[in-house]
Amino acid sequence: MRATQQPAPFLPETLATDPTLQEQFLSPVMQVLQNYVRNTLDCPEMSDAEFVRLGCRRVLSQARSGRDFLQAEQEQGAAGLKRSNFFAVLHSGRRQALLHECAIQLYLEGSRQLLQAGQDLLAAFPLLRGRAVWAVDGHQIEHACHALKDPQGRFVGSKSLYLLCLHTGLVHNLCPVQGEGLYRHEMPVFRERLPAWLAQQKPSAKTLPPILVLDPAYVDKQFWTRMKLASQAGALAITRTKENMKPQRFGALEWDRQDQINLGVQAQSRVGFEGSACMRLIEYVDPETGERYEFLTTEMDLPPGLIAWLYLLRWRIEKVFDTAKNKLQETKAWASGTVAQQIQGHFFALTHNLLVLFRHYLESAHGLKETKLIRKRDSALEQRRERAQAAGRQVHPLHAKMPPVVQLSLQFIRTLRNYISQGVSLAASIARFEAMLASYL
């Protein structure tokens, strides 16, 4: 049964009383563009609002190329859209700067809205309330047709770094890593760009340092020592150990063995490396599978089991990339050049965040949830319990307390894509969303 309709989050007062689905979907980013972004200009050939609309539409479209997308737009009514204008804006430094500011503001405002509404994906861990926690990773797609080659005549895939907020599920495009004939490792680029991102979060003296959850490729002991000791814009890291690491153990650390969150923890030690500050090494055995892990962190106070759980939740950023590849078909660079790479990365982040916010709108304003995914998750969890019990093990009890729906479903994305293309009103689309969220085709 659907709830009584509440005011739509982000809906600008200027929006029609019976908006189209596209207007409602884009309303968060259009409000940010109108009220927060300063780098706007009145361009008669393509307005900034139209630029943002087209970029988000292209991410949703599954178009195989820019020309494919343009033809579809023209045949759906965008008669004045020219190929030269569309491709030119992908190389505009001003548009890139505008989009960067727009993406940051949507991320910040969207996070505030979701958390105020009680949509905290880490609500099971009260110790993390109000503390930033991000998963970090790079995502690579195919190079553009006319991209530059490396000195050996080979194309280089287009790769960018992304941050995923583990509280809200919103993502931010941090920066390009490689492309246009240039290979770079992720860690040096990450070192360069992280301090500026942390400074943008406006940390206060009362704010606990943010936590970044990373794979072992981001292990840089000296860098994380500097981040740990920084008085402002510092950060703490959680990762896994590498085989070639040789930490010096300074002594064992105790932990609360009665706390349910620490189930699976076997040992924890204070360790050090040459030229780095003291860290914590946590030895963990998954109670469900028996698989052993070692986690390394500069966070010295949180329970060791919570450190293990945060690394487990790093998989959510992989699910974001899976959505980009297999559900949005964002597998190839739109154009050559670093500016175009940044624009495409920002548009992917914007569109992903708009999808998350629109799903929240459907729940808050219309009482619609992805009940089919909730049922599927509950059934899978029960099967895991049975298998674990048969093997003399157990599923960690915290699995039952985690939010059942994190990844965006393909049926949800299809309905949104199809009804936006058809120009359907928001009111007329609600019944279809209700059906698609309730059961599989």
> What size, in residues, is the chain?
441
Judge whether residue 299 has pLDDT over 70: yes
Phi-psi region of 165 (alpha: psi -120 to 50; beta: other; left: phi over 0): beta
Q: What pLDDT score does 10 carry?
A: 52
Between 205 and 57, name the one with better pLDDT: 57
Q: What pLDDT score does 39 carry?
A: 78
Contacts of residue 350, Cβ cutoff 8 Å, sequence gap at least 6: 29, 52, 55, 56, 59, 99, 102, 103, 106
Domain extent at residue 253:
231-309
Alpha-carbon torsion (322, 325, 330, 332), positive or negative: positive
Indicate whether 278 and 342 sit together in one domain: no
Give the residue-averaged pLDDT of 296-313.
Answer: 96
Judge whether residue 127 has pLDDT over 80: yes
Give me the residue label for tokens 């690491």.
245
CA distances from 262 to 300, 397, 422, 439 (A): 15, 11, 51, 36
Give the residue-averaged pLDDT of 94-121.
Answer: 95
Judge whether residue 168 has pLDDT over 70: yes
What is the spatial distance between Cα 349 and Cα 359, in angstroms, rounded to a whole number? 16
Q: Provide the residue type at 245 as one letter.
A: M
- DSSP E strand boundaries for 229-331: 236-240, 248-252, 265-272, 279-285, 292-297
Contacts of residue 267, Cβ cutoff 8 Å, sequence gap at least 6: 252, 282, 283
Each residue's pLDDT tens digit, 287-297: 999 999 999 99
In a domain, 316, yes or no: no
Q: What pLDDT score does 170 carry?
A: 97
Give me the residue label for tokens 């390394």.
296
Element holding 434 (H helix, E strand): helix 426-438
Judge whether residue 215 has pLDDT over 90: yes
Model confidence band, residue 427 (pLDDT cutoffs 50, 70, 90): very high
Judge whether residue 271 has pLDDT over 70: yes
Model confidence band, residue 11 (pLDDT cutoffs 50, 70, 90): very low
Judge whether residue 277 has pLDDT over 80: no
Judge whether residue 75 has pLDDT over 90: no
Give me the residue label for tokens 């924890």.
268
Q: What pLDDT score does 205 carry?
A: 57
Nearest to 131 by CA among 59, 213, 53, 43: 213
Each residue's pLDDT tens digit, 384-405: 999 999 999 999 999 999 988 8
Nearest to 265 by CA among 253, 257, 276, 275: 257
Indicate whether 305 and 396 sit together in one domain: no
- What order of strands is seen across the sheet that includes strand 133-141? 171-178, 158-165, 133-141, 211-213, 236-240, 292-297, 279-285, 265-272, 248-252
Q: What pLDDT score does 70 carry?
A: 87
Which among 275, 309, 343 is the end of a domain? 309
Give the residue-averaged pLDDT of 109-116.
Answer: 95
In a domain, 163, yes or no: no
Indicate whether 346 and 378 sit together in one domain: yes
pTM: 0.93
Indicate whether 339 and 429 sit together in one domain: yes
Lowest mean pLDDT among 18-32, 242-256, 259-273: 242-256
Q: What pLDDT score does 128 carry?
A: 96
Q: What pLDDT score does 37 carry?
A: 87
Q: What pLDDT score does 1 carry?
A: 35
In a domain, 219, yes or no: no
Nearest to 136 by CA among 282, 239, 284: 239
Q: What pLDDT score does 83 carry?
A: 78
Indicate whether 304 and 399 sit together in one domain: no
Nearest to 135 by CA among 109, 180, 169, 182: 169
Strands 211-213 and 236-240: parallel
In a domain, 291, yes or no: yes
Model confidence band, residue 232 (pLDDT cutoffs 50, 70, 90): low
Indicate whether 295 and 344 sit together in one domain: no
Angle between helices 338-366 and 426-438 (to 10 degrees): 80
Model confidence band, residue 247 (pLDDT cutoffs 50, 70, 90): confident
Our measurement of the distance from residue 187's CA atom to the centroid of its chain's CA atoms, rounded to an integer in Å, reads: 19
Nearest to 305 by CA among 279, 290, 289, 285: 285
Indicate whether 358 and 393 sit together in one domain: yes
Indicate whether 282 and 352 sit together in one domain: no
Element holding 75 (H helix, E strand): helix 66-75
What is the rounded average pLDDT for all residues in the chain? 90
Q: What pLDDT score does 86 carry?
A: 82
The answer to whether 316 and 166 are in contact (CB under 8 A) is: yes
Judge whether residue 226 has pLDDT over 60: yes
Nearest to 136 by CA among 314, 355, 384: 314
Q: What pLDDT score does 2 carry?
A: 43
In a domain, 203, yes or no: no
Rg of the Cα trace of the chain?
23
In a domain, 78, yes or no: yes
Backbone torsions φ then ψ of 351, nearest 5 degrees? -65, -45
Indicate whether 341 and 305 sit together in one domain: no
Indicate whether 359 and 303 sit together in one domain: no
In a domain, 71, yes or no: yes
How many domains does one find in the chain? 2
In a domain, 38, yes or no: yes
DSSP class per residue in 334-378:
SSSSHHHHHHHHHHHHHHHHHHHHHHHHHHHHH----HHHHHHHH
